[in-house]
Structures are given as C-alpha cells and as structure tokens.
Amino acid sequence: MSPSLGLWKDNPTRRKIEEFVKKVTTPGSPDYVPPSDRIATFDNDGTLWCEKPAYVQLFFGIQRLKQIAKINPSYLDHPNYRAAVNDDLSYFASFYPDHVGELTKIVFDTHSGMSQPEFLQSASDFLSTAEHPRFKRLFKHLTYQPMVELMRYLEAFDFKNYIATAGGMSFVRTVSEEIYGISRERVIGTNVAFDTQISEEGPVIFRKAGLIDPIADGPGKPVSIELHIGRKPILAAGNADGDLEMLWYSQTHHFINLQLLLFHDDEKR
C-alpha cells in the first residue's frame, strides 16, 4: 500500500508537501536530496499534541508541586505552590512569553533530586493516568493524527524524523515511541543537569536543579538540533514564536527545504 496523507484535506498545503517529497526523493530530479540529509524536525506542544489550556508538562509539574506542598504545608507561603494547589493556570500562564525561562525552571525544578529512573517512572505514570481537564481523555491520547500521519508518510520516503521540543526531553521520551513511533534518541529538547552517584547497584543518574543552557526554545532550538543531529532539517514544522528560529534555520539549508506552520484552535474547537 502506497503512503498517503489521507487525513489531510486536498488543498494547497497537502499538495505542496507531496510535491516537495516527490522532488527530493526522485533520482535525477534537480532537487534530489540523498537520504542522509532528509531530516525533518517537529515541535511537540501545539504541533504534535495539544497545548491548551496549558502545556502538558506544566500539568505534570503542578501535580508535583501539590505533592510537595502536601508533605510540607509551609511551602504554601510561596506563590508557585499556592497557585498549584488552587489550580490557578492563569498564574503560570502569566510567565509566558516574557518570562518563559522562569516558567520552565518552575516545571523542571519540581523533580530535582530524583534519580532519572524515578523521574521516568513518575512521568510514565502521569501520562498513563492524567486526563485533559476539558476533553477528559489521557493527555497522551490527544495527539494530532494528521501530523502523526505526516511523519509516517515522510518515513516511507526515507526521511528521519526528530522531535525538537521546548519541553523536557526526558518527559517526551517516555511516550514518544508509543504515541508517535519516534525512537527515544530522536527526541531532543530542554534538559536538566545530571549527576552520577555510585550506589551498591552501580552508577545511578540523578537530576539536579537548574537547566542546561540553552533552553530548547527560540534561538536554542537550532543549537539543540546541531548538538543532537549535526544536520540541518530540510523540513521543519512548528506552531509558535518559539519555533521561528528552527524554521528559519531550515530555510538556510543549501538543499530545497520546506517549513510548516500549524495553527491549532483547540481553545475554541
């Protein structure tokens, strides 16, 4: 069965994608791109799964803030913990876009001090049980199926797909293979610093407070792509200002390239 974009409307966007893929994969075409350079990068939040009313990982961080505040009520003196306990999403939304670094630090520091296996189990448990407040379905089931289909379509033509997320690399890796068919090593994103501690069982990786610079958003996305892939994408897809540098970076490729800007409206839909 030949690959297709059956979930996409037959419109100029779909035809543009199909024409681009044909050009770069047809031997003898002046725009032919060898398989080694058929790199595609996709943002995650708002591009591959929903991000309204807030980022999925923010809900994960809020859950952790509630757990900490329950153990030690004195933490409720801090506005971050009070907002979490009161499910005040507007408080956290106020950090974006001007203070995204501070918001990211809140989310990531909630799980500092954990071993990496503990964190991965915690993230897996959350994504296997937590439901979206509006749709009442698991967060991990709220993926954009046409975008997942696009990744399968590209793979059929020897593209290598990567997720380039501003969210936590480890967080997304826990479900990337299950919901996207994207292997863990092809997920790149924001990450914390790690520390190796020696136990009776051997070396154990622990998560430290603070983030590794740069945050994989805005100008940090091209840096992350270079660090983890070492090749520019000929196709890049995103949905927000934080993806612009990744899209522009793709445009500087010496091969023919394509950028996709997704407009999602699940706040209204």
The 8 Å CB, 24+ separation contacts for 26-34 are 31/255, 31/256, 33/234, 33/255, 33/256
Ordered structural domains, the chain, with CATH: 12-52+138-261 (3.40.50.1000), 56-129 (no CATH)
Cβ-count burial 211-223 (b if 16+ within 10 Å, e if not): beebbbbbebbbb
Angstrom distances, CA of residue 51 to CA of 45, 132, 150: 5, 10, 19
Strands of the 235-238 sheet, one edge to the other: 187-190, 160-168, 39-42, 235-238, 258-261
Give how far the C-alpha of residue 234 lies from the chain's centroid of Cα atoms, to the nearest Å. 19
Q: Report the chain (269 residues): mean pLDDT per 10 consecutive residues.
A: 89 97 98 98 96 91 91 87 90 80 82 94 96 95 97 98 96 98 97 92 92 90 97 97 96 98 78
Pairing outcome for strands 187-190 and 192-199: unpaired
pLDDT at 31: 98
Name every residue whose Cβ is closer than 8 Å to that of residue 219 and which is 6 or more positions away in sequence.
245
pTM: 0.94
The vertex-156 CA angle with 151 and 159, nearest 5°, equals: 65
Side chain identity, residue 60? F
Whether 153 contacts 5, CB under 8 Å: yes
Contact in structure between 246 and 223 (CB atoms under 8 Å): no
Looking at residue 1, what is its pLDDT?
61
Give the whole-angstrom CA distance, residue 29 versus residue 100: 43
Go through the chain and tell me how many residues it has: 269
For position 109, what pLDDT does the model report? Answer: 85
Q: The tokens 């509630």 sit on which residue?
A: 66
Beta bridge partners of 202: 199
Take residue 39 and report the two structure tokens written for it.
Answer: 């790199």
